[in-house]
Chains A and B, each alone.
Chain A
């Protein structure tokens, strides 16, 4: 996965910056708490939530366990319905396929409905390099694109922006991209939405090529499903002559009937609604209605490597609802950008290091971006045990071991940053098995306590960068015990 934000520092560093940003923290707190409370209410309306969650989990698990079969079935049914299926092993290949398909239409601009997969492969940048302009049409994605910014939340990507900032971005940038913002634009959400409507409608009406992702693909029928609220999805899916959908291979469900589970759990988990305003399904092409040409690009980009990990593969059940972000105490304070990926929050902390491998500093740090409180697992509509995968990945980072990268088994070496931790653990093991040495050491520590620094020198510096060193007591516990109780109780 080549979606690393270039130059992104490791999580602790990025988080430190985010935590110091009061506006960001305020916005995030408001957003996560609001959606969290609404979600809880929406879920209690459904008496069989536990059964739906279990069914969703099992459908996805079963599909993943037979993914080869379902991929071939999907290909057959999409082709039979008039679509063309392409396979892309990585981001580069997917971007090349899409660029070629757009070029074949002779067009130099495309409209896009929000898609995590195309963000992941950085499709917009790849198209731009080929002279093709991609317009994001989801309101939040538009704010992010015009602001030359990055998304910070899966569901509400511009949640880090205040209405005042959005007004400034619209007034300043819209004219660069097309219809300028109206004169005297205020910062009321209704006016801002209207400005976006006018700006984008011009693009929708002339667009010849649309690009989308998909929430689900049905192997049995070849049907694709997009779930949205604004109608920009419907615009992109129906007005252009050519539709190109880029979808991760894990988004398959076996049968039409399976949608009955996810169309109940997804809206309630993500926007806390009984149902999102618009859901579109299409099966290949339909004469006289919608695009006459449909291309489906099936994307691997690290997914098969994730599938190869028996503990970690459950991350591929994810339906991108973002419920885990809204309950996570770490996400709430650190914000979406600190995760250095299009997938932030708890799911990002397990998905990104698997899709991209743990080679980079940011990816090796992500499994630690959690308090392991388990709230993410509780809310997950497909019951992904995120804490379990986090611990599994931590072990992999520290100890190394066999993993699959780009389809090949490789042996990972222990991460460098953890040498000090391992040395400390070895020292501790030795000390605890040598009581005499432990006693001497503890006494020495107590007597020198006035001279202890607040942070550690040398390799321990990074550890104490995020914590205060615990104060050493004036007297070791064992000495205190001997002095106060030892004699009196006549203990040995």
Chain B
């Protein structure tokens, strides 16, 4: 008997007390918890996102479609970045105002190559206001998971209010589990040394989120 059969057999014997017509899944779980917490207008939801992002030490900026390219250029300049990683599907216009060397996200790039890049600019799939979370799903404007991980500076653009939801349940609804997802709430952090919070252990130490008004 192989281990698969052995384990499944043990499970079945262990569950001898459970009757065959046990309550089905749909009825077993009460979903009487809230779909979202509180009653907010759309602008209030966006404000809450900004507030919660900042609370976990992300740097939040706001602009409109016209101001976006200038803002991104300014952030890269202020950071002193010499190079920026670009996902294949990133809106061309976003980097129109910066002369910083662009590094294309290629499958062949080694982690060492990525490690030499200063910044990365991406879009996101959805942002969750109540928790201050942005979610990336690997779409062409967000690129491979590693490009937002290895460089020390991540600039993420969120289209508001279109990409903003209130809550975790609403966020999950919009996401496709078949894609690899990365949920980001603030920069990398640890509290492992005497519970003192330190930003940036292995992931980017600086997370800048740009909330850009839908055109």
User: Taking beta carbons and an 8 Å cutoff, which residues of A are in contact with B?
Assistant: 27, 30-31, 34-35, 45-48, 51-52, 54-55, 58-59, 61-62, 65-68, 71-72, 81, 87-89, 93, 137-140, 143, 156-159, 162-163, 166, 189-190, 192-193, 196-197, 200-201, 204-206, 218, 221, 223, 229-232, 234-235, 237-239, 249, 254-261, 263-264, 271, 273-283, 286, 288-290, 298, 300, 304-305, 307-308, 310, 313, 404, 407
Interface string of B172-203 (1 = CB under 8 A from A): 11000111111111111111111110101111
Nearest CB of chain B from residue A264's CB, rounded to whole Å:
5
B6 interface contact, C-beta 8 A: yes
Question: Chain A residues near B186 (CB, 8 Å)?
Answer: 277
| Pairs A–B under 8 Å by Cβ, sample size 21 | A51-B30, A55-B29, A55-B31, A62-B23, A88-B3, A139-B192, A143-B192, A159-B195, A190-B198, A193-B190, A197-B201, A204-B202, A229-B201, A234-B182, A263-B168, A278-B183, A280-B183, A290-B146, A300-B10, A307-B15, A308-B14
- In the assembly, what is the distance between CA of A81 and CA of B178, in Å? 8
Task: Using A197-B200, A307-B15 as known contacts, say yes or no to A260 and B168 having CB atoms under 8 A apart.
Answer: yes
Interface contact B138-A286, CB-CB below 8 Å: yes
Interface contact B9-A407, CB-CB below 8 Å: yes
Question: Chain B residues near A192 (CB, 8 Å)?
Answer: 193
Query: Of B138, B195, B203, which one neighbours A230 at CB under 8 angstroms?
Result: B203
Which of B60-68, B76-84, B96-104, B126-134 interfaces with chain A? B126-134
Interface contact A239-B146, CB-CB below 8 Å: yes
The 3 A-B residue pairs whose C-beta atoms are closest, nearest first, are A231-B203, A304-B10, A308-B14
Nearest CB of chain B from residue A79's CB, rounded to whole Å:
12
- In the assembly, what is the distance between CA of A231 and CA of B185, in Å? 11
B-side interface mostly: loop
Nearest CB of chain B from residue A282's CB, rounded to whole Å:
5
- In the assembly, what is the distance between CA of A209 and CA of B34, in Å? 41
Query: Of A204, A261, A276, which one neighbours B185 at CB under 8 angstroms?
Result: A276
Interface contact A232-B202, CB-CB below 8 Å: yes
B52 interface contact, C-beta 8 A: yes
Nearest CB of chain A from residue B14's CB, rounded to whole Å:
4
- In the assembly, what is the distance between CA of A66 and CA of B17, in Å? 11
Interface contact B200-A68, CB-CB below 8 Å: no
Query: Can you name the residue of chain B whose Cβ is closest to the Cβ of A285?
Result: B180
Interface contact A189-B7, CB-CB below 8 Å: no
B73 interface contact, C-beta 8 A: no
Task: Using A71-B11, A235-B149, A274-B130 as known contacts, say yes or no to A137 and B202 having CB atoms under 8 A apart.
Answer: yes
